[in-house]
Structure 1
Amino acid sequence: MSYPDLHLVIGGERIAGGGRRTSAVVNPATGEPIADLPLADPADLDRALDTAARGFRSWRESTPQQRAAVLNGAARLLRERADDLARIATLEQGKTLAEAKVEVAMNAALFEFYAGEAFRLYGRTLVRPAGQRSTVSHEPVGPVAAFAPWNFPLGNPGRKLGAPIAAGCSVILKAAEETPASALGVLQCLLDAGLPPDVAQAVFGVPDEVSRHLLASPVIRKLSFTGSTTVGRHLARLAAEDMKRTTMELGGHGPVLVFDDADIDRALDTMAASKYRNAGQVCVSPTRFIVHEAVFARFRDGFAERAGGIVVGDGLDPATGMGPMANARRPEAMERLIADATARGARLCTGGERIGNRGYFYRPTVLADVPLDATVMNEEPFGPIALINPYRDEEAMIAEANRLPYGLAAYAWTQDAQRQRRVSRAIESGMVGINTTMIGGADSPFGGVKWSGHGAEDGPEGVAACLVTKAVHEG
C-alpha cells in the first residue's frame, strides 16, 4: 500500500500546503524519506485553540450514551482498518507488523473500556441535617493539550484521545512528527464514528514552538505528556505558569530481579522477547537484569543465546523478529553507550554493532558485569541493550532496583510467595510484574513515580485524570 497524504486536522478540516514549513517522514528500514509533513504556524495553533474551546463547550454537555457511541464505534473501525493502520505504523516507525497489529487491538480495547467509563463518572451526596444538601461531582477539566511520542505511533495517540473524550473534554493532539500518519489514522476512526469535528484536533510542528504556544494559552487546562524526563520537566514548568493540571508518563530504567529459585528458562524466554520488542524502544522495557549470583552465569549465557538468535530486518517481512530503530539518532546513541560501558570494563556478550549500511538496524546486545558508573547504567538506553549483573542477596538486589530516580516499571522472578510480597512492597515503581511482563491493560492504571512522572493513563484513573472535583453545599 502507498503511504497516505499528510495534513493537520482542525475543526474536521484537513490542512496542508499553503506555504507551510514541512518535515520529512523517513522509513527507518531504508533511511529514505516517504512523505513531507506540513507543520503548523502560529495562526494554525490559534485556530486549533479557538476550535478546542468551542468543542469543549458543546462536548462537556454530551451524554454518556453519545460518548460511548463514539468510542465503541471507533473501536470497531480500528479493528476493521487494522491491517492498513499496522502497515502505516511499520512504514514510519519500523516495528514489526505483528507488534503494530497488537497496538491496534490494544487501542480498540481501551476505547471500549473508556466507553463504559463514560457511564461511571459518579459523584456522591453527603449526609447533612434536614433542609441542607451537599453534593460532590466530577466535571471535565477542559481542553487538553496532549503530546504523544513516536515509539507507539498508534497506542500513544489512542491513550491521549480516549480518556479526554470519555470525560467530556476536547483535545489538541500533537503526535510525533516522525510518525504522523498513524496518529491521523486513529483520530480519523473517532471522527468517522461520529465525534464532532470541534472536539479533537491534530497539529504537528517544531515541538518547542508548539508546546510553548499551546501551554501559554488559558484555553488549555490540562497537559498530558509521554516522553523523556528532560522534556517532561520543561513542559511541567511551562504548565505551572498557568497552574495547568498535568499527567506525565516519563522515562524509565526497568530493573528485573531474578532470584535463585526462579524458573530460569521461562524467565529467559519471557524477558528476552520483552527486551527486544520494538527494538527496546519501550518506556517499560526491562533493562537492568539484577541476577542472584547462584544463577548469574546460566542466565547471562541463556540471554545472550536468545538475543543472538533474533532475526533483525524490515518490519514488513514476516520473518523479522526485531525491526530497525526509529531514527538515525538511536543507533548513534547505542554506539556511544556501549563504547562507554566496555571502556569501563563491561563484557560485551553479543551484539554491539549496526547491521548493514541502509536503514537504522542494530544488533540485539547483551552487556554483563557493567560498572555502576557506566552511563548506560544510569541513563535510559531506549534501545536493544540488556545489562546483566550478579548480586549476592535479596537486600542488595532491591537496593540496586531502587538506586536510580526512575520508577516506571519493574519486574521480579521468584517462586517464593513471601518473597513476591516483600519485593512488590519494597520496589519503588508505579508498576511491578511478578513472573510476568504483562503489566498493562485497558482496566489497569499505567504510570510511574519519582522521575518517571505522575498521574496515570488507562483504567478508571485515566479518565479521572481528565476530571476536576466540585463540592456544592445548599443551606
Structure 2
Amino acid sequence: MAEKVREFTLLDLDDVRLFINGGWVTAASNSSFSLSNPSSGEIVANIPRAGQKEARDAISAANEAFPKWAKLTANDRAEYLMKLRDLMLENEDELAAIMSIEMGKAVTEAVGEVKYAASFLSWYAEEGRRIYGETIPASATNKRLFVVKQPVGVIAAITPWNFPLAMMTRKLGPALAAGCTGVVKPASQSPLSALAFAKLVEKAGIPNGVVNIVAGATREISDEIFENPIVKKISFTGSTEVGKMLVEKSAPQLKKLSLELGGHAPFIIFEDADLEKAADGALASKFRNAGQTCVCANRIYVHEKIKDEFAKIFVEKVKSLKVGNSLDHTVQIGPLVNEEGLKKVEEHVTDAREKGAVLLHGGKTHGNSGYFYEPTVLDNVTKEMKIMTEETFGPVAPLTTFSSDEEVIHEANDTVYGLAAYLYTSNIQRAVQVTEALNFGVIGLNDAIPGVPQAPFGGMNHSGYGREGGHQGIRDYLEEKYISLGL
C-alpha cells in the first residue's frame, strides 16, 4: 500500500483484526471499512466492521475475566500496567507513525502523545495501591463500621480520534488498576492506534478478556454497550451533542457515566503579561494537533493596550510553523482529520471575514492533496461570528480585545462550555481573582499545556462531568461498600 513508509511490526496493515478475549478476529459479517491517510487521501488499511455480535462477545469476555482480575493484588495489577507502559515506550516511534498515518497528527507531536499516554499507566499503577477504605467510629460498643472499595465490574471506554492513545490509557489505566475489565470502542478515524495498543496488551501477558478492542458500526456497538446489563460504567470523550444522547441511553439502567465533551476555551492576555511567553503559549495551545483539541485556545482575548504589539509577535511565530505530511519530522502542522473538518474550518474563516474580521496570516488551504489548512490568524473578531461560539477544531486563531477584568471575565464565561481556560498575567492578585471567577474545569495560569496524569481533568456545564487523571480519576471505577459488623 502507498502509505506503508515501512513495515510495522505491531500491525500488518493488509490483515487488520479486532482484539476480543485475547484473540484476533474478523467481523462475523465479513464487512469492513476503509481508513485513509489525511495527508494524501490514499487508503491505509481496511478495518473489520464490528457490530452487535462483536460488542457482545467483547463484553462477555470482559465479564468472564473480571473475577480473577479483580482478585489480583494491587501490586500484581500494577506490574502488568508497568509492563504495558514499558512496551509503549519501547515502541513509541512505531505507535507515533501509526497514529500519524491514520489521523494526521505530526509525528513528532505523536511521539509526545505516546509518552503522555504511557504516563497514565505508570501513574495508575501506583494509584491502584492507594485505594484505601475507612474505619468509622461506631455509635455502640458492640458494633464496628467499615467502608471498603471494590471495582465496579465491566467498563466501556469510547475514545476520540484526536488523542487515540492518551484518551484510551486515561480511561483504561484507572479501570485496570481498580480491578475492572473492559471494552474499548475507538473512533472510526483512528482504530489502528487502539489495535496496536492491543498487541502490547498481548505482549505484556495481560490475561485474556481483560482488555478488548472493537471498532466499526458505532450505533450497533454503542447500543450493545448501553443496553447490556453487564456493563456497569462507561467513559466517553467526544462531542457535547453525542454526550447528551448517551446520558439518555444510560438512564434505563442507571449506568455510571463520565463525560469529557466539547469546549470553547478563552485565552486571556492581560496588559501586564510577558508577551513573548503569552505568544508562545497561545501558539502551543492553539496549533497543537492542528487545532483539533477540545482544550485549545478558541477565543484569544488581548487587552486593548497591548493588542497590536502582541499580534505582531504572535503572527511572526505563526509564520514559522511548517505545514506538510504528518510523517515529516520537520512539520508542526499536519492535515485536518477529514474533508468535513476542513470544510468547517473554511466555513468559520469565510463567515468571520464576511462579518469584518481582518486576516493577518493564512486563510486558505495548503497544497494540492490532503486536508491541509494554513495556520491562520484573524483580528477584529466579534461575538457575532461563528468562530466565537462554535468549536472550529482547526488551526485558526481569532483575536479580539477587552478593556477591563470584569469585561473579559464576563465574555469568557459567556458560553455553554466549561472545559478549559487560560490567562497570562504577572499580577498575583489578578491571577487569583480571575481564576476563581472563570467557570471552567481546567485553568492554565501562565501555562498553555496544563494536562498531566497526576491532576484531575474534566469540564463543567455542557463540557461534561466526572474527572480523569489524578486520584480523582479512579473513583468512578470503584463502588464504596459500607459494612456494619455486630459483635
Query: Would you say same fold, with TM above 0.5?
Result: yes
Q: CA deviation at 1:19?
A: 4.4
For residues 413 and 434 of structure 2, the distance between their equivalents in structure 1, rounded to whole angstroms, comes to 11
On the 8 A contact 2:66/2:180 being kept in 1, the answer is: yes
1:351 to 348, 355, 362: 362
For residues 298 and 467 of structure 1, the distance between their equivalents in structure 2, rounded to whole angstroms, comes to 51
My pick for the range that moved more, 247-256 or 102-111, is 102-111
Q: Which amino acid in 2 is paired with 1:71? A: L
SS where residue 14 of structure 1 aligns? strand
2:223 to 212, 215, 224: 212
2:129 to 82, 99, 119: 119
Q: Which amino acid in 1 is paired with 2:259? A: M
1:377 to 371, 378, 388: 388
For residues 371 and 286 of structure 1, the distance between their equivalents in structure 2, rounded to whole angstroms, comes to 16
Residue 70 of structure 2: aligned partner: 60
On the 8 A contact 1:20/1:41 being kept in 2, the answer is: no
TM-score (structure 2 length as normaliser): 0.95
For each residue in 1:86-124, what CA deviation from the matched residue of structure 2 results, as whole angstroms up to 9, or x when unmatched? 111111111111111111111222111101111111010
1:83 to 93, 103, 110: 93
For residues 163 and 84 of structure 2, the distance between their equivalents in structure 1, rounded to whole angstroms, comes to 18
For residues 217 and 280 of structure 2, the distance between their equivalents in structure 1, rounded to whole angstroms, comes to 41
Q: In the alignment, is residue 386 of structure 1 matched against residue 397 of structure 2? A: yes
In the TM superposition, 1:262-341 aligns within 5 A as 262-341=273-352
1:245 to 245, 249, 256: 256
For residues 64 and 120 of structure 2, the distance between their equivalents in structure 1, rounded to whole angstroms, comes to 26
Runs (4+) of structure 1 exceeding 3 A deviation are none
Residue 407 of structure 2: aligned partner: 396
For residues 375 and 253 of structure 2, the distance between their equivalents in structure 1, rounded to whole angstroms, comes to 44
For each residue in 1:30-64, what CA deviation from the matched residue of structure 2 results, as whole angstroms up to 9, or x when unmatched? 01111100011322222112112112222221211
In the TM superposition, 1:108-147 aligns within 5 A as 108-128=118-138, 129-147=140-158
Q: In the alignment, is residue 442 of structure 1 matched against residue 453 of structure 2? A: yes
On the 8 A contact 2:51/2:220 being kept in 1, the answer is: no
Q: CA deviation at 1:17?
A: 5.6
Residue 7 of structure 2: aligned partner: 2
Cα RMSD of the aligned pairs, angstroms, is: 1.3
1:71 to 61, 70, 81: 81
Q: Which amino acid in 2 is paired with 1:63? A: T
Q: Which amino acid in 2 is paired with 1:229? A: T
Unaligned ranges ≥5, structure 1: none
Q: CA deviation at 1:309?
A: 2.3
For residues 391 and 437 of structure 2, the distance between their equivalents in structure 1, rounded to whole angstroms, comes to 22
Q: CA deviation at 1:463?
A: 1.1
Q: CA deviation at 1:347?
A: 1.6
Q: CA deviation at 1:377?
A: 0.8
Q: Which amino acid in 1 is paired with 2:267? A: V
Q: CA deviation at 1:458?
A: 1.3
For residues 123 and 19 of structure 1, the distance between their equivalents in structure 2, rounded to whole angstroms, comes to 47
For each residue in 1:329-385, what CA deviation from the matched residue of structure 2 results, as whole angstroms up to 9, or x when unmatched? 111111111111112222222112111221111101111221212111111111111
Unaligned ranges ≥5, structure 2: 1-5
Cα distance change on mapping 1:125 and 1:18 into 2, 3 Å: closer
Q: In the alignment, is residue 162 of structure 1 matched against residue 173 of structure 2? A: yes
On the 8 A contact 2:284/2:448 being kept in 1, the answer is: no
1:40 to 50, 55, 59: 50
Cα distance change on mapping 1:18 and 1:209 into 2, 3 Å: closer
Aligned residues: 475
SS where residue 221 of structure 1 aligns? strand
TM-score (structure 1 length as normaliser): 0.98
For residues 470 and 202 of structure 2, the distance between their equivalents in structure 1, rounded to whole angstroms, comes to 23
For residues 150 and 208 of structure 2, the distance between their equivalents in structure 1, rounded to whole angstroms, comes to 21
Residue 240 of structure 2: aligned partner: 229
For residues 318 and 53 of structure 1, the distance between their equivalents in structure 2, rounded to whole angstroms, comes to 43
For residues 368 and 285 of structure 2, the distance between their equivalents in structure 1, rounded to whole angstroms, comes to 26
On the 8 A contact 1:103/1:152 being kept in 2, the answer is: yes
Q: CA deviation at 1:18?
A: 5.1
SS where residue 439 of structure 2 aligns? coil
On the 8 A contact 2:51/2:217 being kept in 1, the answer is: no
For residues 93 and 175 of structure 1, the distance between their equivalents in structure 2, rounded to whole angstroms, comes to 12
2:102 to 87, 92, 110: 92
Q: CA deviation at 1:274?
A: 2.4
For residues 138 and 387 of structure 1, the distance between their equivalents in structure 2, rounded to whole angstroms, comes to 47
Give the share of equivalent positions with the same residue, in percent: 39
For each residue in 1:306-327, what CA deviation from the matched residue of structure 2 results, as whole angstroms up to 9, or x when unmatched? 2222110012112212111111
